[in-house]
Each structure stands twice: as C-alpha cells, then as structure tokens.
Structure 1
C-alpha cells in the first residue's frame, strides 16, 4: 500500500512540474519482435523496476528492445534525437541513414558540433528507421526535428551551462582562497561540494566526456555518474553540518543526516566499486532513495535550526530548496519517460549557480558574524567594566603601537597621567557608589575632549592615562590644564553631592628611547610632583628640573 501511494505521489509531482509533450516529428513508433537477448523490461531510475508499454497516442518514448520509427514528412535536414541516454546503447539503421550507427553517451567520437544532452542521428529522408536500445534504465525520449532548430536549442543550452559553470568555478575558487587564508574547514567543504556538484552536472548533461581533462571519466560509464552523484551528496551533508551548526542546534536530526547522507552512502559506494556483487543495477534505486531521504532530513533539520535562531540555516534553506526541487523533478521525469521541459532542463544549471552564490553570501555573512563576535569579545577583554574606557592591558597595547609609530614616523607623542585628588576621602565620606559615579563623571568629561587617535585608559583605582599621538609637550600641557579646570568646575557636585572632585595631572613627552613602561613611569613621577605641589595642578618633569 505504501509503495502504491509513493508512486501516486511521484506521478502527481511529475504532472505538476511538466505536461506531456506531443510527438515531435514522429508519425508512429512500433515495437519489433524481441530477440532472445532483448527485453521490454525497464528499470525505473527512482524507485523500482516497472513494465514499459509504448503509448500509441504519444509516439515519442522508447525503452529497451527494438523499435521501428516513422519520421514525419517534410522536415528539413531531419535529425533523430535520443534524449538523456545515460547508460543506454542506441543503434539505428534503415534506408533513412547512410549506414548503421551505434552510439552511447560515453563515446569519444560523437559529432562535436552538437552537445551531448541527446544522441544525434542525421536522417537522409523520411523513410522508417529501426532503433535498438540496450542497457537503458528508464524510458528514453525521442524526437525528429530540423537541424536548424536543434542547433538553436543546443546553443542555448550550452550557453546556459557555460554561464553556470563559470559562476560555480569563480565562486568556488574565491571561497577556496578564503580557506587557504583562514584554514576554516567549512570553506574547504563548500569548495569541494560545489566542485562535485559541477562535475555531476557536466556528467549528467554529457559535456564532461567532451572536455579534454574529463574524458577519462567515460571509461567508468553510468556507474561513474552514480559515484559522483553520491559523493557530492555526502560532501553536501558534511558541509551543511558545519555551515548551519546542525550538530549543536538539532543533534538528533544531525545524527540521522550523517547516517543516511554519509555513512550508509559510503558503504554503498564501497559495494559499487567492489567486485561483489557483480551486478550493479540495484545502485540507482538505493542511491536515489538515500538522496530523497537525505534531502528530506536536511530540509527538516535546517528549518528547525532556523526556527531556533540559526541565521545561516536560513541562507541554506533559500539556496538548497530550489536545487532539491529541480533535481528531484528532473530525476522523476526522466525515470518515467516524461519529457523534460526547457524551463527544467535549462533551469537546473542556473539554480545550481544560484545555490552557489547564495551559499557564498551566507559564508560571507558567517565571516562577518564571527568577526563581530571576536571584536566584541576583544573589546570586552580590553575595557574597564566600570568606566567603559580601556583597561590597563588595553591602554598599554594602544600605547605600544603609538610608541612604535612615533619612532617610525617621527611624530610627537605625549602622555597625561591623571589622578583624582583625595579620592579615598570621597569613598569614606560618601560611599563607594558615589566614588564610582565620580570616576564615571571624570571619564565623561575627558572623553568629550578626545580627538581621533587619542587613547584614554584606567590603570586602576583613581588613576588614568591619556595618550595624545601627534601632540608635543606644549600642546599636551595646554590640554591637561583645560581638563583640570573643566573637571574642577563641573565635578564640584556629583549626583547632587558636594564631592568637589579635582585632579592632579603629570605630563611627559615620548623620547627616542622610551618604552610604554618608561613613558608611564615618567608621567607618574610628574603627577606626584603635582600632588606634592598642592594637588589640583599640572606638572612636568622638565619644569621640575628647571
């Protein structure tokens, strides 16, 4: 019962995706008497073996066996086309041909002026021809069309295929460069997945066997296509696990995906290349069932991960669902002998290119997300939790770069060391909460005077340092005096309490031998000179020496 409903659902999907095309340039197709070595049994490539019976009302589909085809009259330069032959071996003879011809998709000597999505047999007239089909796993679509029309359609398909392959190659190489720099596995998995998807596309459309670098794949025949298709699915599952973080967000579905999409297919591939079992006809049915189940699990897992806040799972859903739909619809139509409509035939390469671009955009967004998280974590690690300015480690790191730049560029660098006067008494008299408010008030007033490139940091307690790249001692002293007066005037009261906050500031300028430690030490000494001079003042070591 379940199998019957599965087939009914499959037929409904196929009928929704495409309508039956009427006979194209063919008057009728009649089966010939089968010899002892032929069979009318047809292996459906999606689910199970089924009987193939030619429909006299739609003479455009043939299966294994021998057939007599009557072309329509009046076709200019007629070409007999056998679409999507894959494993089939097709022989054509009769008065309509100059000589008997046998072709397979994997032959090296096919006419190079045509693409390989169909086997092409030029006819000399509208006389009937005999066709023998061997090794076909599903019904084959045939047509007789004028040569000019076929060339026009062929050229359109080749252009779309080349455009899609160009996008896939360009995006994959770009992501591969990111992997070479970042060494993050998901970028390598993406490049491998797209490369295998592209290879499968070229093999399934037959164009791989016409390219110099890929012609050797023809030696493996249809099992080579099955192998590449399964390998691409395994790579895709592995990539999706890392890309969308499925192991953490949906662990059970992720585990099921790995079993159905990686572990079991790996075992099936081992059986495919092993000498036992000798017959491999079972593989497409098993492989296609695993393909459908894997994609059903993947879409479910991605949807749940997205609903649980997985932003990148959403990118994959946008990219992956159209690809799964087009791939499944095309496989079902081919397996059932339903003509593949142009929108589906041309759309699959374009959808694959769309998938590659959207996934690459998702990787870029993923990189930006990780970068923001890293920057946020770094900022938290370098910031003082109370005041929001740089902590001791953060300010020393910034000053280290400033000192190096001073030596390299010869630009001046000055440092201000600020210490709040009588801060212990403020804490003792008014409490630590007000002391914290005083620190924040001073930071706010100083921050209002900062220019681009200035660095303010808290060393600890009530001590702050302010780095002023590009400022000599004269300008730094003026800045310090301005800050002293501003703090004295605006921190007379803090949160309504007469705290009377003032600061003592030490000023020094970086010299050729200074390090961050020596620069801070000299500014600290200058600050203590200001303290000993009565507080609430600005001092420098140079002025003290004079």
Structure 2
C-alpha cells in the first residue's frame, strides 16, 4: 500500500513534466515558410593559401561541384569553400536569413550579394551587437535575392568533420523561432540555477558534503550546457572563456563527471548499500583528473584518440554508476529511487543524442531541447531528494536530542535534563519576579512490586504513574524522572497553595489508578514533598534538597500524603 501511494504521485509528476516538454517543443518548432530551396556546390578541400578574391569574384566557379547533400561539412586541417544559390527568386514579405546548424566553434565567413563583403560568423563571438541568438549562425541576405545568384561560404578547418546544414528562412519565421529558443534555454537554465541557489542556501546552514557535491556538479553541468548553447558568452565575464575555444565545454564536462559520481556515492548511500560497486565507482573517478589536465595541452583538441577515449570512459562510468544506483534501489535505497527518477530521462536522451550524431541525422527539436530539459528536471527531482534527506536527518537529530533528554522507559525528562531545565526555570522566575514550586514524588512500596510481580510489571507501573502525573499537571509545568521510582515536577508561577492543590490532585489520581500488566491488576500510592523557591541565594540543589526532605517526612508520617517543607505546615491524609 505504501509503495503504491509513493509511486502514484511520482508517476503523475513525471508525466506532467514531460507533457510540459512536449508542449514547449511544439511551440518552439518552426513553422514551414515555403522558402526557396538552396542548391549547394563545393570546391574540393583546398590549401589555406587559396585567396578569397579568387573564389568570390568567380575565378573558380567552374571548379565547384554540385552536390545532392543538404550539408556543407567542414574538413579537418583545411578550410572548405561552398557556393549556395536559390532555385527561384526571393518573393517573401520579409528578407531572407541564411543560417547554419551544427557549426559550434567553427568559424564561417559569408560573402553575399550585392557587395560580397565578408561577414564573419562565430559561435563564441562577443564583439559588436548581435541581432540573433547563438542557436544558429545566421546572416541576413538582401530582399531582392535572385535565383542562381551565388552566395559564397568559407568554413574553417577543425579537428573533426561535422555535418553543417545551411537553411534559408524568411526573417519573420526565423525571429519567431529564435525567440522561442531563447525562452526555452532561459527557462531550463533558470530552473537549474534556482535549484543550485536553493542547495547553496541549504549548504550555508547544514554544511553537508553531499550538498557541496551537488552544487559542484550541477554548476559545471549548467556552465557546460550554456557553453554548448553559446548563451554564456552573453553574460558578464563570458569573454574570458573565449580563448579556450572548444576546450571550455570539454573542461567543464570533465570536471562535472567526478563530482557527479561523488554525489551519487554520498546521496544514494552506495558505500553502505552496495559497498563493492561503490568502491569500484570511487576508483573510476580518478582518470577524469588527468583528462582535465590533458585538455590544456596544445595537441588535445586535435587528437581524436583522446576525445574518443574520454567519451568511452564517460559511457563506461555512466553505465556502471547507473547499475550501482539500480542495485541500491532494488535493495530499498530511498535516495537511490529519487536519483533514478531524476537521472533516467537524462541517460536516455544522452544515448539518443549520441545515436543521432553517429548516424549523422538532423537534430529534431524534441531532442535538441530534451537534453537541457532533462538536466533541469534532474536538478528539480534531486533537490526534492536533498530536501527529503535533510528532513530525515533533522528528524533523526531531533530524535537523538529527545532520547538524550528523556527517560527511555517513561518518556519524561531524565535527571540531567530536568536539573538543566530547573536552573533555567529558577532564572526565569527571578527575572519576572514570579513564584516557583517543586514537587518531589516517590512511589510507595515500589520494591515490593518488583519483587512480587517482576520488573516488567514494575516498568508498566512506572509508565502508568508517569502518564497519570503528567495528565494532572498544567501546560506550563513539566515532569522528570529523578531516579528509580522518584519523579520531580516543576511548577512555574505556582504558589504554595497552588502546589499543594496540584499535589493533592496527583495523589488522588494515583490512589485510584489501576495498572493492568501481564494478567495482573495492581494499585499503588505516592508520597510527595513540596518546596517553594526562596530568596535570591536559593539554588536548584537546595530547592531539590528541601523537597526531598519534605518527601522523607511524608514517608515517615505514613505515606500516601503530601508534605510541605518547613516553615510551611504539613498536610496529611
């Protein structure tokens, strides 16, 4: 029953979030504009000494080879030239926009009519005023673009060949799509930042190591995501990351991995639940540190082996971590279940993204926005898990404090706690110039109960008597077990007459109390001594001693009675 109650709201929560993703992606998907199609021709990969004037002014037009592919891929180690042209004249109401997808950190130069002046496009560009976001590298073309009119494009070299796709869109549709993109990326980044900020506030109070790991890996993942979207270069200080180029996202991805694994180990309590898998997982974090150092080497960005090795190790560690978390969840690890809910969507979207890259397919909007969505979703769910973990830790702490201050048998204050509270009550009474009374209570003939019926019946009798005494006290009074069958009740604000009245009420309640335990019904009585706080020199120890002396007098006078300490007269029954 408990499991079904737990799973149902979680399933509804996940379903609602993914429904929201679908709605946002559909809203972000561009509407068809009916734009003319681009015809793409390319020059073979040429040496860098080829001048732009030779290409732009038509000297090499005969060397361009038409292609059927919609892509303009870059080349490794050399730049490439493309000539683009439309199949019909541009006749839309708004001017055309030429955009390139898949050109992250690759410089593109566009030579467009009528002047064919170079216009540089770069993902990490920070100078000047940007008309569009960094979703695509885009440039506006003339409104009177004619069919067959050439547009020359120079794509810089890179270590890896990428499928760069040019697209022609009218300005109105492109700006609508661009605005929707900015809204989505801002939304996902804002959610992640808010969750990180909430975790930082918790860390300032709790100083918990698991919160440190979460803040670290979530921050690095957020920076990585903003580097891949380019939005980080719009922020103050973003220009400092420009010299790193492609090293920047690799660096933050490498640093986030070991912190993520450390967080999983702590958050899911894997060292306790799955110790062997956790030990291996702990060792698997260390190769990321030399990888982070290698990224700074000049050869790093041009070494496919290093990149492929990092990707392979990242996949291995992810699969191992996922297996360890699943095993912990199967062993009833509550936090592991939280993390599975948070992490599984991100793992699935990551695998789909890798397949899309390997198969060289176009990036659909649901996958493009799905990955940052799952990162934001993961932060939300993990933050909920952290709150749940903090709540359980607080409950355990409160329980520990309660057990430290309360008697395990009767549930009332223990001797150490009652003495501490008595000191505070005396100081408060003197501060407000109010009276304070103390009752010292002792069960009559309790040893004979233990001897005759056994300690279990005696314990039941102690619990029943403690509960009966507490029921007769006022809300401001409190009760503690001084030792054995002795109890102390503190009565703040009570005068001598008030204390005697409360004591008599307790005595009568105990006298008529019937205790049922292990097939036995028994009755007991109680004797009490009363002491009243004296002058400014009176101490807690002296107050207890006077109440104890009055109790001793009650015992001598025949038990089952209440006696006030001299100079007050004793009252007996």
Specify the alignment match of 1:11 in structure 2: none
Name the CA distance, whole Å, in 2 between partners of 1:300 and 1:193. 20
Question: Any stretches of 5+ residues in structure 2 without a counterpart?
Answer: 1-24, 50-64
Closer, same or farther: CA 366–537 of 1 in aligned 2, 3 Å = same
Deviation at 1:479, TM superposition (A): 1.2
Name the CA distance, whole Å, in 1 between partners of 2:520 and 2:262. 63
Moved more, 179-188 or 88-97: 88-97
SS at match of 1:282: helix
Deviation at 1:77, TM superposition (A): 1.1
Specify the alignment match of 1:14 in structure 2: none
Q: Check if 1:28 corresponds to 2:52.
A: no
Q: Check if 1:308 corresponds to 2:331.
A: yes
Of residues 178, 190, 199, the one that matches 2:223 is: 199
Alignment root-mean-square deviation, CA: 3.1
Specify the alignment match of 2:157 in structure 1: 135
Name the CA distance, whole Å, in 1 between partners of 2:199 and 2:386. 9
Q: Check if 1:227 corresponds to 2:251.
A: yes
Of residues 182, 188, 191, the one that matches 2:212 is: 188
Q: Check if 1:71 corresponds to 2:82.
A: no
Deviation at 1:25, TM superposition (A): 4.8
Of residues 170, 190, 202, the one that matches 1:166 is: 190
The superposition leaves residues 432-486 of structure 1 with CA deviations (integer Å, 9 ceiling, x where unpaired) of 4443333233223223324434322222121111223343332221111011112
What TM-score results when the alignment is normalised by the length of structure 2? 0.81
Deviation at 1:238, TM superposition (A): 1.7
Name the CA distance, whole Å, in 2 between partners of 1:108 and 1:435. 82
SS at match of 1:253: helix
Name the CA distance, whole Å, in 2 between partners of 1:321 and 1:500. 63
Name the CA distance, whole Å, in 1 between partners of 2:114 and 2:281. 53
Name the CA distance, whole Å, in 2 between partners of 1:111 and 1:328. 37
Deviation at 1:58, TM superposition (A): 5.4
Specify the alignment match of 1:112 in structure 2: 130
Specify the alignment match of 1:338 in structure 2: 361
Q: What is the correspondence of 1:101-500 to structure 2 with a 5 Å cutoff?
A: 101-109=119-127, 111-124=129-142, 125-126=145-146, 127-136=149-158, 137=160, 138-260=162-284, 262-275=285-298, 279-334=302-357, 336-491=359-514, 500=523
Contact preservation (8 Å) 1:60, 1:143: no
Contact preservation (8 Å) 2:217, 2:259: yes
Contact preservation (8 Å) 2:346, 2:371: yes
Contact preservation (8 Å) 1:96, 1:128: no
Specify the alignment match of 1:82 in structure 2: 100
Higher relative contact order (CA 8 A, sep 6+): 1
SS at match of 2:40: strand
The superposition leaves residues 4-24 of structure 1 with CA deviations (integer Å, 9 ceiling, x where unpaired) of xxxxxxxxxxxxx999x9997
What TM-score results when the alignment is normalised by the length of structure 1? 0.85
Specify the alignment match of 1:508 in structure 2: 531
Contact preservation (8 Å) 1:106, 1:219: no
Closer, same or farther: CA 177–335 of 1 in aligned 2, 3 Å = same
The superposition leaves residues 37-65 of structure 1 with CA deviations (integer Å, 9 ceiling, x where unpaired) of 59xxxxxxxxxxxxxxx996652453433
Deviation at 1:114, TM superposition (A): 0.9
Closer, same or farther: CA 24–382 of 1 in aligned 2, 3 Å = farther
SS at match of 1:448: helix
Name the CA distance, whole Å, in 1 between partners of 2:255 and 2:494. 63
